[in-house]
Amino acid sequence: MEELLTTLPDTPIFAFTLLILVVLFIPPIFEQLRLPGLVGLIVAGVALGPSGLQLLDPETDTLELLTDIGKIYLMFVAGLEIDLAEFRKKKNRSLGFGIATFILPLLAGVAVSRGFGFDWNAAFLIGSLLASHTLLGYPIVNRLGVLRNEAVTVTIGATIFTDIAALLVLAICVSIHDGDFSAASLIMQLMALGLYAIAVLFGFDWAGKEYFRRTGDEESNQFLFVLAAVFLAALGAQLISVDRIVGAFLAGLAVNDVVGHGPVEEKVEFVGSTLFIPFFFVGMGLLLNIQAFVEAITTPVGLGLTVAIILALIVSKFLAATTAKLLYRYTWYETLTIWSLSLPQVAATLAAALAGYQAVNSQGETLISEAVFNAVIVMMLITAILGPVLTTRFASHLSVPDVDLDSKTAASYGDDLLLSPPRPQPEHFTVVVPVYNPFTTQYLIEMGALLARHEGGNLVPLSVATAHVHMDDPQLDMELAKSQRLIERAKEVSQRFDLNANPIIRIDDDVAHAISRVAREQNANLVVMGWSEKMSLRARLFGNIIDQVFWSSHCPVAVMRLLDEPINIQTILVPMKNITPRTVRTMQFAQVFADTNQAVVMLLHVCAPGTPPDQILIFEDQLQQVLQQSPISVETNIKTIVCEDVADMIVQMSHSFDLVVMRSMRRRTAGGLAVSNVTTEVIKQLSCSLVLFGEPHT
């Protein structure tokens, strides 16, 4: 083995390449075993580090840099993903539960630590490690359709308080550990931290809004601005003797409102969840000493400390959830859902634990011992598995919130698609159909023509001739000739439906922006686009044309993969996860198309095993009410199926249908790692025609 190691190149490129391979292959293997992917990354770090094959050394400059970037990025994403709008809705109750779920675990951690002989400073830091929580269960409550349940909203909102408070305790404990502690120095530290937090939260927010306003659609520069904000905040934290993760988290909160839920946020999270955050978890594994880790879970003292910390966390989080039940009169299922959502300890806990473990004073003493660090890893592994399992069990029993549909939902199809902010009512329903591929032009134009004719509106075929600076470029002449042929073909197809098309040829260097701008200029109600199976490397990193149009369009976008002529489609399947204005508008789109063809629509609701029958009946009754309010009269049936694998069931059902209509949804991240959604899985396996319906991002 030693001979093999000597033959390997001792360069940073080798370490980086090995990390890339680990991130690429290890998480999917562990997810197949029903374990979180981040667990696989930690295990890989142990296997490749000093306790294993010794292929990676955590003390090299390369590994230290990548691990630090990952730690900073993890806390930045944690701040960026906090839904400030949801927090504002229930801020008083979120703050109340946040205080309870912070104070009780903090005191429990302090009590356990003092019982095992730790000093007060280390005890408070250990207590703070138990006080925050990571919303690993977010995708689960989202899938179950209970995000609007107040108990879930309050738990999500409490995250902002627990994370800030835990990082504040970390900052104070690290400052005390460095020495020369006094009441005056503590006051000065708190004042400096307060001024710094105000400067970051308000200064970066103002600077970000100004920069984004001036740069318009320059997403590359906006992405770089966000990265600059993250690392400037991290450096600023170091200047006031505060750990860098505090600055990164504050930067995430500061630019939260600036980037919104747009394409820049998507790119920032994508880069983090793909590269830097997984590097951090591998780095955590590299620091694990297997011998010490085994002692931590086998020796009486080590095992006792680990068990005591985990029990303190579980019990104290349960007491905090019970406090919320008594204060706000939640049901037991709501209480248990709050408890399960607040159990996982991943993002802030691991980052703070690593900061405490690496904080060394002048005497060479670490703030928390190796035994505590190992116990925190065990706690993370257990809660990362236990939390989502319990959330699935309890959240499936939550009551379905009342349907809260605005007046536009029940309006006509054309009016319904006019989303806020208000804009002038168009004289005609307008469908813009970008055409590029000669082999798909016919089906797309037929679909657009059917919809436009149904609404008595206009069809606008659009061809974009790509060009850069020089308008006399021969390549542009070729693009214009190609566009002219496509437009002529589109006009021929539209005439078969007794519909006069109003074609447009646009010269632009950005196809996505050209489509969005023409749609806005034409005051379009709908954009119909073709689906591309090909995905280049650039598209994977920065998004393809479809992604960019989804984000920038002012009106709904229907992306289609049509395997047959639209006039031959007779059966349509529409999966319905929950009832919201957006899901109802997706259903209405399917109904409008069905009405052009006398087709039949099936609304499919796949619920988790253990869902109470009365909850299923309530959902079906609410869906039936929505159908009764719909102005489109087509045969629409409702079917509910109980199944654990939602994507697999949709694919199975699709074999009996000509077309599946699904709503486009953003990816979310949990604990810094990307979480695949049902739509993505279904698209990969569908063998029939598909429509992905997305609305303007508000």
Give me the pLDDT at residue 217, please.
60
Q: Which amino acid is at 100?
A: A
The sheet that has 458-466: what strands, in order across it? Answer: 504-508, 458-466, 430-434, 526-530, 557-561, 689-694, 659-663, 571-575, 600-607, 636-642
Q: Which amino acid is at 452?
A: A
Give the SS3 label for residue 508.
Answer: strand
Q: How far apart are CA 628 and CA 447, in angstroms?
A: 26
pLDDT below 70 — which residues of the chain? 1-10, 36, 81-87, 89, 138-139, 142-145, 147, 179-183, 186, 216-218, 243, 260-263, 295-297, 347, 361-364, 399-427, 468-473, 532-544, 665-677, 697-698
Give 460-498 as a DSSP string: EEEEEEE--S-TT-HHHHHHHHHHHHHHHHHHHHHHTTT
Percent of the chain scoring above 90 in pLDDT: 6
Whether the Cβ atoms of residue 282 and residue 41 lie closer than 8 Å to each other? yes
Whether the Cβ atoms of residue 575 and residue 662 lie closer than 8 Å to each other? yes
Specify the CATH number of the domain 402-415+559-698.
3.40.50.620
How remote is the C-alpha of 118 from its chain's centroid?
38
| Entry pTM | 0.61
- DSSP character at residue 366: B
Written in H, E and C, the secondary structure of 387-407 is HHHHHHHHHCCCCCCCCCCCC
Q: How far apart are CA 566 and CA 322, in angstroms?
A: 55
Beta-bridged to residue 637, according to DSSP, are: 602
**Closest by Cα among 697, 695, 674 to 81:** 674
Give me the pLDDT at residue 314, please.
92
CA angle 207, 209, 213 (to 5 degrees): 115
Strands, E, within 537-685: which ranges?
557-561, 571-575, 600-607, 636-642, 659-663, 668-670, 673-675
Give me the pLDDT at residue 657, please.
92
Give me the pLDDT at residue 498, please.
79
Q: Which of the listed CATH numbers 3.40.47.10, 1.10.287.110, 3.40.1190.20, 1.20.1530.20 matches domain 75-276+289-395?
A: 1.20.1530.20
**Closest by Cα among 173, 135, 351 to 245:** 351
> Same fold for the domain at 75-276+289-395 and the one at 418-555?
no
pLDDT, one tens digit per residue, over 114-167 is 888 888 888 888 888 888 887 777 667 766 667 677 888 888 778 777 877 887
Q: How far apart are CA 27 and CA 252, in angstroms?
A: 26
Give me the pLDDT at residue 213, please.
74
Specify the CATH number of the domain 418-555.
3.40.50.620
CA terminus-to-terminus distance, the chain: 57
For the chain, what are the domain ranges? 75-276+289-395, 402-415+559-698, 418-555
**Residue in the block written with tokens 């089906």:** 443
Helices (H), 116-241: 120-131, 138-144, 150-177, 183-198, 205-215, 219-239
